[in-house]
Structure 1
């Protein structure tokens, strides 16, 4: 009995001891498992790091960074050299450069914003995109083409006789062409593809307005003088360079969310340097007649043509009165400043190039992010597409044209402009009648004798 009681008393103690031993063993096992797990994790991390390092070394993107930099640098100098060569070749080649950028930009914008897989089933959609492009170019630049080619086209037997009809009815012809494209678009609509087709039409018109139309105004800048083409281009390039330099040295405040690398400090710092650069650009460009003279009727002008013209007043030094100050009154002097007005205009253009034109680039960045594209294309090795290089130039060019027409253009009438207008708008009979009326005015003012006037009159009557 005593032995039984003793066993009953010791049984819980044995159980507790066994439980404790089991717990210790389990704890040791957990420690060992945890340690082994930690060792495995550490070994795994080391292997992953080694693999990542090996991948980094073998990554073609990383290993080709030097090659990409070399290609980008080479093509930068190629573009600079080609640009200056075209600039010296003449206004006609500069216009072709703008037309090339115009068409390429349209192609790149359409390409990244539409689904190419849809075009397999909708072949007419791509055709209509290009149809609307060339119809718009003809509407915007058609009259300028006739203006500069009429002296040569009028000699052709078939075209010369109908040239007047094309010029007089230019607007109506373009409207009919557009309506034809509109009808073809409606006829091409297919169920199941309507959303895509209307999306393509809207994008096409957006690009026509924002790129093609503004490129047309840049062409007008070239005709007004290469100065008004090169100065805005130079200001945008300088602003882009100094925005980058000021951003990496002083940039802390993010400017706009769609372009995280753009900073407020870089944005404002570039403004200061662009204004300063405008004085240098004006000094260099305004000293050449080839740069500042407009083109009237001859596109064969080049850098060796010795182009001269009557200077626009903005390129002539003028005297400006400074605000009256007491110090000037005490010295009994009239404060004046002699300066070319073009410097003041250049400051305003530089301000637009710094504070407003960059938003053309921000718009392009937003469009690329919307379609998840890095670049608009790969037309220029190492630089992306043409659109990536000229996105700010379109807005700057259109502003320059409107600024020139509003504040600088003299709207002068010359013999060449009158002659071109006559050839574009009058037929042969009307031209003879005009000559007779001019001779009558000369006779009434005693410039022509009665005998000469009668002889000329008889000649014109015989021709009629």
Structure 2
């Protein structure tokens, strides 16, 4: 029987997809490897002489249902091509972002704080722009100007508090900084009050409701973005490990959930994000917990990661040198009897921080994604796919940090609840700023207390 070749598409140097027609008019589709048939499809049936798996046959059946003459890989397998194209775009840019993350960690705390502020400003810009694009036709007076002014006011307040708290000695040494620190909250309130009055003066009769709506939009955005960015910086000062491990756990969960969902995903997880699957959610959880344990073990052995970030007044630079706390010293733990027969060990040596890392990675895996679901609901409300197009394949900066902000708040609350204790160095710094009579009063009170406890006497005897 004569077969007429209607078209061919080269998939690689030795792999071809061919469309042909028999004398009877039947259309044939064949996948050729070095000229030999791998798949031969006629109508909707697969030739039994071709050794292929059912998975390949299903992909090829879609090609029969969508025949074309200008055959290329992308139009023979349209869904498969787009799927893998998105995979490679996301993969390459993810590696680029991870590399950039390592670089800024290497550059130190000051660069990290600068990056956090830049990310915060960009996220604020993306959310405010959505509101502006939706309502720009109303020509609301001063909307963008007031939004950015309030961002400036709130940042001045939060970062001023941070400088006063962590750079106390430097602030007290410089007269202009000391004055700004003393009246910082009053200045912050005055700045905000100015913006508030500007908003009231900008009210227009025909836009009252919409203007108050956008006023609330701006303040909720400030609450979500700026407040939580401030908490990220506080986490950083507790030690870089409290900054790196939570962020890395969120990144790992995002990557592993995507990979498990890509290869094994079948069951939809939530309607807000149709592409999310239970397989990806569960696989991402176990992978993230394991990753958190390993990363915590590695980082707990280095002081540059575990020591609090402090400002050295002598060198005017940040230092991360200290004696490791018990949290970062190897300890021996007994393995539960039930598991001893399984693992073959009775005890295991690990850092206490690794136990805390389980809590961090669990939150990043089970609760953190709800930050993404919240963002998905927000985008669906305004019928947009992404917050912006800053990163190809990933959307905007806010699309990448929707889970990070929720994670930062959890870490800050976790540290305050279970980790942080009194800081003697800060108490001493505040003590030295008091008047001599106040210092003497505290000294006498402390001395009497130590004598009553028997501590001062034992020290004098020694």
Same fold per superposition (TM over 0.5): yes
* Distance in structure 2 (CA, Å) of the matches to 1:198 and 1:441: 54
* Distance in structure 1 (CA, Å) of the matches to 2:230 and 2:197: 26
Corresponding residue for residue 331 of structure 1? none
Superposed displacement of residue 51, structure 1: 9.6
Q: 1:419 to 1:128 in 2, by over 3 A?
A: farther
Corresponding residue for residue 380 of structure 2? 369
Corresponding residue for residue 449 of structure 1? none
Q: 1:173 to 1:119 in 2, by over 3 A?
A: farther
Corresponding residue for residue 27 of structure 1? none
* Distance in structure 1 (CA, Å) of the matches to 2:383 and 2:447: 74
Q: Is the 8 A contact 1:112 1:373 kept in 2?
A: no
1:180 has 2:191 as partner: no
* 365-374 vs 132-141, which moves further: 132-141
Comparing both chains, which one has the higher relative contact order based on Cα–Cα distances under 8 Å and sequence gaps of 6 or more?
Answer: 1
2:402 to 382, 391, 397: 391
Q: Secondary structure at the match of 2:308?
A: coil
Q: 1:255 to 1:77 in 2, by over 3 A?
A: closer
Deviations 1:248-299 (A, max 9, x none): 3332221110100111222122111111111111112111111111023249
Q: Is the 8 A contact 2:390 2:396 kept in 1?
A: yes
- Higher strand fraction: Structure 1 or Structure 2? 2
Corresponding residue for residue 102 of structure 1? 120
1:199 has 2:247 as partner: no
* Distance in structure 2 (CA, Å) of the matches to 1:249 and 1:140: 44
Q: 1:116 to 1:261 in 2, by over 3 A?
A: closer
Q: 1:184 to 1:273 in 2, by over 3 A?
A: same
Q: 1:413 to 1:152 in 2, by over 3 A?
A: closer
Deviations 1:119-149 (A, max 9, x none): 7833411111112212222222212123455
1:314 has 2:356 as partner: no
Structure 1, unpaired ranges of 5+: 1-47, 329-334, 445-464
Corresponding residue for residue 459 of structure 2? none
Superposed displacement of residue 66, structure 1: 9.5
Count of aligned positions: 372
Q: Secondary structure at the match of 1:378?
A: coil
* Distance in structure 1 (CA, Å) of the matches to 2:446 and 2:291: 53
Corresponding residue for residue 413 of structure 2? 402
2:430 to 416, 421, 425: 421
Between structure 1 and structure 2, the one with the greater Rg is: 1
Q: Is the 8 A contact 2:171 2:178 kept in 1?
A: no
Q: Secondary structure at the match of 2:142?
A: helix
2:238 to 224, 227, 249: 224
* Distance in structure 1 (CA, Å) of the matches to 2:297 and 2:129: 41
* Distance in structure 1 (CA, Å) of the matches to 2:286 and 2:416: 26
Q: 1:276 to 1:70 in 2, by over 3 A?
A: closer
- Higher helix fraction: Structure 1 or Structure 2? 1
* Distance in structure 1 (CA, Å) of the matches to 2:124 and 2:270: 26
Deviations 1:320-377 (A, max 9, x none): 456689x99xxxxxx7655322111111111111110000011111111111112111
Corresponding residue for residue 138 of structure 1? 156
Q: Secondary structure at the match of 1:373?
A: coil
1:90 has 2:90 as partner: no
Corresponding residue for residue 276 of structure 1? 290
Corresponding residue for residue 340 of structure 1? 351
Q: 1:431 to 1:90 in 2, by over 3 A?
A: farther
Structure 2, unpaired ranges of 5+: 1-65, 449-462
Superposed displacement of residue 226, structure 1: 0.6
Corresponding residue for residue 255 of structure 1? 269
Matched ranges for 1:53-202 at <5 A: 75-115=93-133, 118=136, 121-148=139-166, 160=175, 163-202=177-216
Q: Is the 8 A contact 2:431 2:439 kept in 1?
A: no
Corresponding residue for residue 24 of structure 2? none
Q: 1:339 to 1:49 in 2, by over 3 A?
A: closer
Superposed displacement of residue 64, structure 1: 10
Q: Secondary structure at the match of 2:290?
A: helix
* 198-207 vs 218-227, which moves further: 198-207
Deviations 1:156-186 (A, max 9, x none): 5xxx15x444334433433333333222212
Superposed displacement of residue 434, structure 1: 5.4
Q: Secondary structure at the match of 1:115?
A: helix
Q: Is the 8 A contact 1:90 1:301 kept in 2?
A: no
Q: Is the 8 A contact 1:147 1:297 kept in 2?
A: no
